[in-house]
Structure 1
Amino acid sequence: MFRGKQILQIRKGGTTRVNPLYASQKLYEHYEHIQEVKHYYGLLAIYALLQTAEEKRDPILLDKAKSILSRFPDRIAHPAYNFPSYRIGGNPKAYALMQDYMPEAEAQVREYAEEMLTAPRDRQGIMSMPSAPEKELIWIDVATAVTPYLLFAGLALGDQRYIDEAANQTFLMYETFLDPGNGLLHQSKNFAAPGKFSEDHWGRGNGWGYFPLAELVRHLPGDSIHRPRAERYFKALSAALLPHQSERGLWRQEIPLEYSYEETSGTGLILYGMGVGLRTGLLDRDTYFPVFRKGVLGLNELSINEDFSTELSCPGCLCPGEGAEKGTVKAYVTLKLPYRDEPHSFGPLMLALVEAYRNGIHDLPSESR
């Protein structure tokens, strides 16, 4: 499959241009230089590294990604996880099995897929916080943790149960967290108070809901019973996100609030999804490609520094605030402020750059990168 393709910086008319795949790889290298790549946000970056290697047709980079995944679970100092599948490498490990890069991972992937089928759920069937199942704490981030893993596992192992539950989890969460007034998603329910939704339309939270829909429309078989619903929800969320892009190309921490800061990680996930939608023909090119290109250029200019450090990414954020402010828009935009090299930034940026390349954007402006 891999023939090897050298992709570096190029110079046109005296201006340095950077290939998106080169930038994606360099982002990962910067990330691994500053900290050990793990946690759910690290796994997203490893998943993006696999896709970077695929697009580059680079066997050396693919071997690196496989070597990184081979360290899970036994050569990683694991933090506490809400989802046990993170111990073995989560989504990228299941993807590597599906792509036949790591056939030796079959038993691991199956074991943790089975675990997901029996994990705690709320009364609707949505996977909930395992440490307090009686409180039925649910949040949209879970869709990204669960749906791609079960989808890839089901396709790799030929187990329809996993595919069904992959679709079911994201569909239930989309329907539950949907704000019918604007088509965007709230992040959580029952964290601020029993029965209460967080008041946000958080940028990365909407990305966490959009990303698994993109994976469903990208990977579900054409004749899957889940495909019509996946496509319908994907197109609806795409349309809801469309009008909220900032003048500089990004989406905001609180998406509809024009005074909220422009945010990197949510923008990266949104652009990845739009890139998938453009390539699959689900999104109208005349409408969405200018938005997609503007977003990619915005991330390149605002979110990625010359040394491939990153900016403008929200730190960990789950129904922030205390007392009456918990889960309010004010808490989302004032308590969770971005900083350089915030670790959630790397995976979404890499994914957006890979989709930029797949959609024909093969070089980006750079002053000195």
Structure 2
Amino acid sequence: MASASGVDQAYWDAIVVGGGFYGATIAAYLKERRGFHRVALLEREPALMTAASSRNQGRIHAGYHYPRSWTTAARSRANVPRFLREHPGVTNTGVESVYAIARSQSRINARQFVRFCQEIGAPVREAPDEVNALFDVGRIEAAFMVEERVMNLPAFALAVADRLQRSGVAVYLGCTALSTRRSGGGAVSIAIAASSGPELLTARHVFHCTYSETRAAGTRHEIAELAVIAAPSALRRLAITVIDGPFFSVLPHHVEGLHTLSHVRHTPHLTWNEDPEIRPRERLERYAKESRFDRMVRDASKYLPCLRESTHLESIFEVKTVLQQNEVDDGRPILLERSMDVPGCYSILGGKIDNVYDVLDRLDAEPLT
């Protein structure tokens, strides 16, 4: 792992900007599958996997969450087994996942959910009595046990760093990409700011994997709150999601005994369409970050009454970015844009961990030389 003192060579086969899961996976892919010899991964934070990859990804979606987007659900079913094979030991063991269907305001009912699971090949069974007893039967039509893994984020970050080291990717922390432009001979120049000062690097290819800072047209950003709670003991080994509408999820946190609570209506604090004049990270830093936990738990406990016993410990705020076209169906397709102004420069955006394999499939078809 390199330090943040500066980049020790000026020319690279590829430079990947963004040290989250997507950036790290693409950097390793370029070394392992495309035969690139000199690959650099630049991350502005002092460590990898510290922003959206560690805050927006509480589970490995296995399709259940997307009954309104069959394509997204089907891709998750196809991608999750591969992810688990390639990343053993990055999920919390002993956690059971529950999906509950609300009686009102839900876009699907229990029968439709079961049929949807059958269509995408996702295992589903009725919840046992002790799980059903947790819910308000007047508000929940049915609850189901599903096969969906919850992330162990510290283990995940270690696994990603280990893969980068094994593949020989040069990692530079504390380096911020400032601009990219055409260079001579068909290369790309990228200006960066490191702790040692400004530098100008050159590469045959540059991949921007900076999530909310990708600056792709047609995206929508939101400042989102994730409440960290001490939940009642009845929820200790359960991950519960109520769908499909203005509901919530309560998932085990990587710290033993804690959970995270998010709510469709109250987690988003501020939303805006992509605007070149607004830098999402700067807006997040300036945001007041006043918690809405009281609203989240007030509504969620109507469906899951034991949540009233929860204690709010802290809240995590992060920027979430999605394509505007998927606001209705809640789908999470990937975005891979090849720059028309700077050949060899790509922008990549994905909303779920397993989507990275869709990106790699797209890159397989790109003439990267």
Query: Do the structures match in fold with TM over 0.5?
Result: no
Which is richer in strand?
A: 2
- Higher radius of gyration, 1 or 2: 2
More helix by share: 1
Which interval holds the TM-score relative to the shorter structure?
Answer: under 0.3
TM-score of the superposed pair, with normalisation by structure 2: 0.24
Higher RCO, 1 vs 2 (CA within 8 Å, ≥6 residues apart): 2
| TM-score using structure 1 length | 0.24
